[in-house]
Structure 1
């Protein structure tokens, strides 16, 4: 059973400049959402970050809210929290697949998102995963976003000696000092 396995958890990242995250939660199952929210807030605060919170009706609206916030605000990253419990219809598959796919696509475009949308078979599984004292998936989603923010900041600060130079830079460098370049 996955609940009894031990998993390696990366050390919490540290930041030179403060980080601000938006937590987008779908409180359809309010008690589960509240537990996940508690875990996410605690993780962000432990890293010295701040957060804002917005609630949306369901898991399908979470990616849209993140997309709107990315276009109109200045957050460093996002934490997606919600819970989808399998029911009697295929609606479960649609909600799980579409919300996950949208979040993944935004991540591939450069957004730092921790996906904490639980997709479970029953309420008992959700309760264990949401509990900050047990699997703490809300805290894990916040930690994922924080790690991605740390990577973004690390790699965006590296501008010399990494990768290829744009053609305009190469021409400019070639025309100076008899073609010799220094890093």
Structure 2
């Protein structure tokens, strides 16, 4: 049984400069992935962001694709989408844990990632969570990425003010301003 508890949703952030996002999707369950993509695209469109979509074979490849894009491209943030449905083996735990852990580690390095990789017990749970008219987890992942981008822009230009800051750009180690060493 899928529950519908109400929860608070942060207001959509606004941006004064363009935002470019990469949606990385593992379309193992194509219909579920397509619904999640639709939800993510709608959220990004509503925020005025531009985006590209790339597909990878499975959920374990999503973090690697994000890492490659971060290293070789110019995206402000990432939306990770996929679906892992519990099966009869422990492979489910491996895929869920490792994909989530890798995305979290990338996030802790400063990447702005919305994690929309569903980890569910059955197909019905996945369908409800992926449906843009229902739980819209693709849209939620895009919103998370947008909020992290907004935070990184808010705090990106600041310094903590710790340590020595020279009074001017001219730093003299020894001597006078004219270059002489006489007193």
TM-score by length of 2: 0.89
Q: SS of the counterpart of 1:3?
A: coil
Structure 1 position 174, deviation (Å): 9.1
Do structure 1's residue 151 and structure 2's residue 151 form an aligned pair?
Answer: yes
- Say whether the 8 Å CA contact 1:113–1:145 is kept in structure 2: yes
Q: SS of the counterpart of 2:167?
A: helix
- Say whether the 8 Å CA contact 1:40–1:141 is kept in structure 2: yes
Give the count of matched residue pairs. 170
Partners of 2:16 and 2:2 in 1: how far apart?
Answer: 36
Do structure 1's residue 83 and structure 2's residue 77 form an aligned pair?
Answer: no
Structure 1 position 157, deviation (Å): 3.0
Structure 1 runs not aligned, ≥5 long: 177-183
- Say whether the 8 Å CA contact 1:3–1:135 is kept in structure 2: no
- CA deviations on 1:11-70 (whole Å, 9 max, x unpaired) are 000000010000000000000000000000000010000000100000000000000000
Task: Kindly report which structure 2 residues correspond to 1:117-136, keeping only aligned pairs within 5 A, or say none.
Answer: 117-136=117-136
- Say whether the 8 Å CA contact 2:2–2:125 is kept in structure 1: no
Structure 1 position 156, deviation (Å): 1.2
- CA deviations on 1:128-155 (whole Å, 9 max, x unpaired) are 0000000000000000000000000001
Partners of 2:122 and 2:100 in 1: how far apart?
Answer: 19
Q: Which residue of 2 aligns with 1:164?
A: 161
Partners of 2:2 and 2:146 in 1: how far apart?
Answer: 24
Q: Which residue of 1 aligns with 2:6?
A: 6
Partners of 1:107 and 1:51 in 2: how far apart?
Answer: 19
- Say whether the 8 Å CA contact 1:12–1:47 is kept in structure 2: yes
Q: Aligned pair in 2 of structure 1 residues 2, 175: CA closer, same or farther (>3 Å)?
A: same
TM-score by length of 1: 0.89
Structure 1 position 4, deviation (Å): 1.8
- Say whether the 8 Å CA contact 2:66–2:78 is kept in structure 1: yes
**RMSD across aligned positions (CA):** 1.6
Partners of 1:120 and 1:25 in 2: how far apart?
Answer: 17
Task: Kindly report which structure 2 residues correspond to 1:62-141, keeping only aligned pairs within 5 A, or say none.
Answer: 62-141=62-141
Q: Alignment partner for residue 173 of structure 1, among 144, 163, 167?
A: 167
Task: Kindly report which structure 2 residues correspond to 1:9-48, keeping only aligned pairs within 5 A, or say none.
Answer: 9-48=9-48
- Say whether the 8 Å CA contact 2:113–2:144 is kept in structure 1: yes
